[in-house]
Structure 1
Amino acid sequence: MAAKRIGFVQRRKAAGFTQESLAEFLGVERSTVGRWEGAETEPQAHIRPKLACALKVSAEELQSLLDDITITDTNPSDRMTYALENPTSADLVVVAYLHERLRQLDESYDQESSTSLLGTAGQLHGQVRYLRENAGNPRVRRALYEVEADSATFMGQLTWDVSQRRDHAASLAYFGEAVTAARHARDPSTESYATLRMSFVALYGQKNAAQGVTFAEQAAEVAKVVSPSLTGLSLLHIAEGHAMTGALKECEDALKKAEAQFDRVHPDDLAAPHYTVNEYNRLAGSCYLALDLPERAEPILRMPSRALVAKKKSQAIALGNLTLSLIRQGKLDEAAATMHRTIDAVELTRGGGGLNLAFTAGRELRQWRSEPWALEINDRLLALM
């Protein structure tokens, strides 16, 4: 498994050094610099101040460059196998490999069914935990905690999806593990996101709006110093919790606060993909639907239902809510067409949120069950079961 510190190499070149000239400046062999860049070794403590000065970075920035390891060969390697057999030998290259595998799985989330991902994700999560529990190097252990926080969050999502949002206990256990691991890694963004996922379970699974708001408030509090994106997303779910209890003013206050977070998003906010105008519209529309204001929900939901083509699970939720807003306004022709689009999206991924909304819409169409168009929809819903 080949690896490279690409950021370190780029910083060396930007500072005007070749491997040979940097080695000469530091009084080391050129091969030593090569091993640093190949993630085989790290600079010893006594040489780091001079190295940081040469690269024109702070000590903290130098450490970040050394921690940023890219796997250049994604095939499983003897190094990974050896680490699983001898877990105290795990190093940052092994951590980078695990992180890359998790990234690949996460990228598949919106395109594949959660059932198809669960086995591989569970195996990876087990490897991460095993290596973290036995890691001999404190820095490696902390880096493994970072991966564990992400993999536990992912497992919580998959478990809840596969159970069609019924297995709350298992999902909450994974999210709780993610929060604990994120705190060990001192990663408030991941801690906030895992806490927010706990809010989802309370809001959509347990139907406990008050608990959902509490979790979302905790997520917003953790995120506020590091991530406007996660702060905004948390505020959207606070709004949704208030909408579920019919509290229009509190809901709209939270929506306004969430919208204000758009202006604070910055390039270093790693959570920015989670909080977009499409997510804002999807959740704002859901709020007005919960408040029994389908005429206000409909135009808001039309935007994300078109824009979220690449995120089929999110699109299915937006389409399901749009269907409900149309049914509740008596726009049956449009509702039927949108219902078919909802089922199309659900068939691709079988995401729990979209699946549940499809069946909710199906129940609301029962009063027209003798109509041919309603019978066709019912047949498709039966096939989903």
Structure 2
Amino acid sequence: MATKRLRLVRLRKAAGHTQETLAQLLRVERSTVVRWEAGTTEPQPWMRPSLARALRISDADLSSVLADVIETRSSVSECIDDNPTKVDLVEAAHLHKTVHDLGDRYDKEPSTTLLAAAGQLHGRVVNLRKQVPNARVRRALFEVEAESSILMGKLVWDVSQRRNHLEPVAYLDQAIYAARQAREPCNESYALLRKSFVALYGEKNPDKGRSLADEAAAVARSHSPSLTGLAMLHVAEGYAMSGNRTLCETALLEAATQIGEVTDADMAAGSYSIDEYNRLAGSCYLFLGLPVEAQPILETASKSLTGRKSQAIALGNLTLALIRQAKLDEAAATLHRTIDVVEMTRGGGGLNLAFAAGRELRPWREEPWAQDLYDRLLALMAPN
């Protein structure tokens, strides 16, 4: 049996580091970090304070983390049937359902609680797909791999608080390849769309993000009005980030048109609704510097959205719209609501918007109501 420090791995990812970036920060070889996480060696005492700071934990907590070494199976292949020829379409369907079950939990639970299980499942799917000899089963596993890769991209980006862009994009590229092998345009489109999110919100590159969203819409156009509409909303957002109101509103109009074309036959029908339209349309007007126009749209979205992570984003943007109109009492109350939701989900989008609102409240930081909000924001920074 092999060993592993799973808590150390989770904390490293939560801090937004890959093994390589953590090694660079600490001026050690990547293989040294690998051995720490495998539980075969420990950091030298003089290095531990730097490691604790990199992981955003106390020295005492680090000692506990380093002591937490568990036995694991020595390889992914030990987690699966030793004979891949026994894997059939029933097993592929079971894996598909398991990925869906984890995906259903994504919007309700912190990504940190899902990452380990999703990573183990993803590894199993990829390992099986590489070994299975039956072409039909292999294609079915490519479809599962596309969905598990998308889920991993979402989780890793969330856990890094949207700081680690390379690893999520690598998972999404893997999803695009797998979707093409499975001839699944909806998964291909959604993976492209998730890449556009990284470009728009992580890299702050509206042109790149808009181009990726446009590509996602083109892939989905003949297959899913739902995904086409969702992609066009992010095309609109890219234009809004660039300050082009005319092209933004043209894309919003096309996105709205797609809502009326969604039917039960649409494979992605659950991913796009008038609530999502309102959330992103409100965001567009906020990027365009029009908080008065954004406010009522975001108010409607925040009341109607059932997904907690999406609701946190709508509330965070609504807070910004209120601050920019100097409606401070309403802004404070809305930021408290935003933090309430973020505390449950730890979603990267809502978390970042909550901190953005906090930065815009700095002129009033000495006010007691603002200090209460800063205390809550500070608590969000603590490892959970």
Shared fold per TM-score greater than 0.5: yes
Q: C-alpha distance in 1, partners of 2:271/2:322?
A: 27
* SS of aligned partner of 1:85: coil
2:170 corresponding residue in structure 1? 173
1:84 corresponding residue in structure 2? 81
> Which residue identity does 1:141 align to in structure 2?
R
2:102 corresponding residue in structure 1? 105
8 A Cα contact 1:236 1:255, kept in partner: yes
CA positional deviation for 1:112? 0.6
User: Normalization by structure 2: what TM-score?
Assistant: 0.78
> Which residue identity does 2:293 align to in structure 1?
R
Matched, 1:341 2:330: no
2:349 corresponding residue in structure 1? 353
Pairing 1:92-241 to 2, within 5 Å after superposition: 92-241=89-238
CA positional deviation for 1:82? 9.1
Matched, 1:330 2:329: no
CA positional deviation for 1:128? 0.3
CA positional deviation for 1:358? 0.2
Q: Which runs of 5+ in 2 are unaligned?
A: 1-76
> Which residue identity does 2:138 align to in structure 1?
R
Q: C-alpha distance in 1, partners of 2:179/2:129?
A: 13
CA positional deviation for 1:116? 0.4
* SS of aligned partner of 1:84: coil
CA positional deviation for 1:88? 2.6
Q: Deviations over 1:20-65 (max 9, x none)?
A: xxxxxxxxxxxxxxxxxxxxxxxxxxxxxxxxxxxxxxxxxxxxxx
Q: Which runs of 5+ in 1 are unaligned?
A: 1-79
**Could you say which structure has the larger radius of gyration?**
1
Q: Deviations over 1:293-352 (max 9, x none)?
A: 0000000001111112x3110100000000000000010000000000000000001000
> Which residue identity does 1:164 align to in structure 2?
Q
CA positional deviation for 1:100? 1.3
Matched, 1:364 2:357: no
Q: How many percent identity over aligned positions?
A: 61
Q: C-alpha distance in 2, partners of 1:82/1:359?
A: 41
> Which residue identity does 1:124 align to in structure 2?
L
Q: Deviations over 1:212-261 (max 9, x none)?
A: 01100100000000000000000000000000010000000000011000
Q: C-alpha distance in 1, partners of 2:260/2:329?
A: 39
Q: Deviations over 1:86-125 (max 9, x none)?
A: 1232101111111111111111111110000000000000
Matched, 1:294 2:291: yes
Q: C-alpha distance in 1, partners of 2:261/2:207?
A: 28
> Which residue identity does 1:345 align to in structure 2?
V
Matched, 1:378 2:370: no
Structure 1 ranges of 4+ moved more than 3 A:
80-83
Q: C-alpha distance in 2, partners of 1:304/1:135?
A: 46
> CA, structure 1 residues 327+98, in 2 after alignment: closer, same or farther (shift >3 Å)?
same
Q: C-alpha distance in 2, partners of 1:359/1:233?
A: 26
Higher RCO, Cα 8 Å, sep 6+: 2
User: Normalization by structure 1: what TM-score?
Assistant: 0.78
2:269 corresponding residue in structure 1? 272
> CA, structure 1 residues 315+187, in 2 after alignment: closer, same or farther (shift >3 Å)?
same
> Which residue identity does 2:114 align to in structure 1?
L
| Paired positions, count | 305
2:313 corresponding residue in structure 1? 317
8 A Cα contact 1:83 1:89, kept in partner: no
> Which residue identity does 1:145 align to in structure 2?
F
Matched, 1:256 2:256: no
Q: Deviations over 1:349-376 (max 9, x none)?
A: 1000000000000000010001000000
